[in-house]
Structures are given as structure tokens and as C-alpha cells.
Amino acid sequence: MNTHFVLYWLISIMVLLWPVNFVVVKSTLQQFPPLLLGGLRIGLAGLFIAPVYWWKSSRGDALRPRACPLRASADVPALLLLALFCIGNQLLFIFGLNRTSVPHSAILIGMSPIFVLLIAAAQKIEPITAQKITGMLIALAGIAILHAIPEPHAQRTGGPTLSGDALMCLAGLTFASFTVLGKRVSLRHDSITVNSVAYILGALAFAPILFWQARHFTFAAAPGSAWAGLIYMALFPSVVCYLIYFYALTRIPASRVSAFSCLQPVIATLLAATLLGESLSIPVVGGGAVILAGVYLTERG
């Protein structure tokens, strides 16, 4: 089978699963507090990926001849940093989405390619051109349009807030950091190893906070739909999509992989309007279009 066909087929699945996650998280937050939900998501993701890592390890490095044994690798600090970026991204995503709308969240996460470019430029991996600067300025103008008309009672109704949008920008920044660092580590380690380190170590580190959060929560009161949402969050966006994303990083440039995030805002916004009844205001449509135009121009620069 054609390798490029398989790769882009997998990326297409990822592009569909991630936007659905915006709606799922927003709905599940009605049943779980953000910190508890984040901890449960990370813990379940660690449980889901641990058997995959065990299976891969039992087959040895024949799965990927160029991979190095983790115990003897000089990349251990980088892998730990990747774990921090991965877990930080997911926690910031949940806290941000708890304080802003799905359209705002998806549009701001769609700016990840610009963050990737800035990090790569700071490391002298990729140059900054006049066209890229213009694209970034256009994207900033789109953010201004996005907040041109504040929505009344946004904090109380779960609508967009500046604090929520700021958390989403930080989520995008941590994801961009994961992308750039992950591209370098992918030269020595496969996607299963990297994601297993991220989630298993993250689950262990977060366990005390998770138990502390769970003390006074009535789990039996959570409906089945909330548990289904939690399982979806842990299995598909956290494990499956990250495995696909990291697999793609080993085969095409990081900027091209992150560019697929531009499709998320459109799909997530339409899903939020259809399933959650979130409004598509003029600032959302206009600001989102300007931001995506800026991202596109930056990518082409």
C-alpha cells in the first residue's frame, strides 16, 4: 500500500477526532470539575497506552531499527520535557475550554503553526521572512476582531472570556513546543515510546492531585454520557491522535504537520453550533477568518 496514502489517511482521522474533542470536553465539564477531569483523562490515557508500549517493547527494536533503548538514551531529559509539554497542553486545554467557547478555543488552537514557526526561528531552524511577519500581524488583527464585541454574562454562561482565551493560547504554545522538540526526538524514538513516557509519567506525577480532587466527588452521580466522554477524551484525542501526530512528525516537516490544525477551527465551530447551540457571531466568523488567513500566509512565507 502507498505509504503517503496511509499517512494522509491517518492524518484525516486525526483531523476529525480532534475537533470532536472540543465538543466532548465542553459537555463533560458540566459533570466533572476541570482539575479532576484533566487528571482522570491523563490517568486513563496512561492505562490505555501502557499495554501498547509493553507489546512494542516485547517485540524489541525490530519494530524500528534506528530506535535507541530508553534506559541508555541521551534523550531522556528531552523525553521528560516532552511529557511536560504534552500534559501541560491537555490541562491548559481543559481549563481554557472551561472558561471560553468552543469556537474561540478552536480558532486560537488553530494558531499553533505560528507558535511552531516562532519556536523554530528562535532555535535558528527556520528563518523569519517579511511574508511570515505579515501573516503573524494579520493573525493578531484577527484576535482583536475576535474580541471586538464582548459577550454579556460570558463568564456565567460558559461563553468566551479573556482568561479562557489566554489559557487556550498557552495550550497552543505548549503543543507547538511539543511539535518542535518532538520532531528532533523522533529521529531516535518512535511515537509509542514518546507518548508512553508522556502519559505514564504524567499519570504517576498527577496521581496525588487526582486522589485529592476525588475525595469529595460523587462518581456515582456522573451520568453514563459523562463517562463515555471521558473515555473518548483519554482514548482518541489523547492516545490515538497523539500517536498519529508523532508518527507523521517522523515522515513530514513539523510545520506541515501542524498546518493541519487549521482545519480544526472550522469543523469544531460547526459541531459546536450544531450540537451545543453556541452562536456564530460576527466577531467569531470575521476574526476566525482573518486569523486563519494570517496562519495560511505565514505557512506560505
Angle of helix 3-28 versus helix 224-233 axis, rounded to 10: 140
Residues 18, 22, 26: CA angle, nearest 5 degrees: 155
Three-state DSSP at 151 gives coil
Neighbours of 105 (CB within 10 A): 29
User: Cα-atom radius of gyration of the chain, to the nearest Å?
Assistant: 19
Averaged pLDDT for residues 203-208: 88
pLDDT (0 to 100) of residue 156: 47
Cα atoms in the Cβ-side hemisphere of radius 13 Å centred on 184? 15
Based on the structure, what is the number of domains in the chain?
1
Phi/psi for 195 (5° steps) reads -70, -30
Averaged pLDDT for residues 154-158: 48
Residues 167, 213, 238: CA angle, nearest 5 degrees: 55
pLDDT (0 to 100) of residue 33: 95
Q: What is the DSSP letter of 189?
A: S
H or E element: which one contains 37? Answer: helix 34-58
Does residue 223 carry a pLDDT above 90?
Answer: yes
106 belongs to a structural domain: yes
Cβ-contact 146, 284 below 8 angstroms:
yes
pLDDT tens string 36-45:
999 999 999 9
201 or 63, higher pLDDT: 201
pLDDT (0 to 100) of residue 255: 62
Whole-prediction pTM value? 0.85
43 belongs to a structural domain: no
124 belongs to a structural domain: yes
Phi-psi region of 2 (alpha: psi -120 to 50; beta: other; left: phi over 0): beta
CA distance 84 to 270: 31
Nearest to 45 by CA among 216, 268, 200, 191: 200
Neighbours of 163 (CB within 10 A): 13
pLDDT (0 to 100) of residue 20: 95
Averaged pLDDT for residues 193-222: 88
Residue-number span of the structural domain to which 278 is assigned: 3-27+73-188+248-300
213 belongs to a structural domain: no
116 belongs to a structural domain: yes
53 belongs to a structural domain: no
Residues contacting residue 251 through CB under 8 Å, at least 6 positions apart = 3, 7
Cα atoms in the Cβ-side hemisphere of radius 13 Å centred on 164? 24
Cβ-contact 94, 32 below 8 angstroms:
no
210 belongs to a structural domain: no
160 belongs to a structural domain: yes
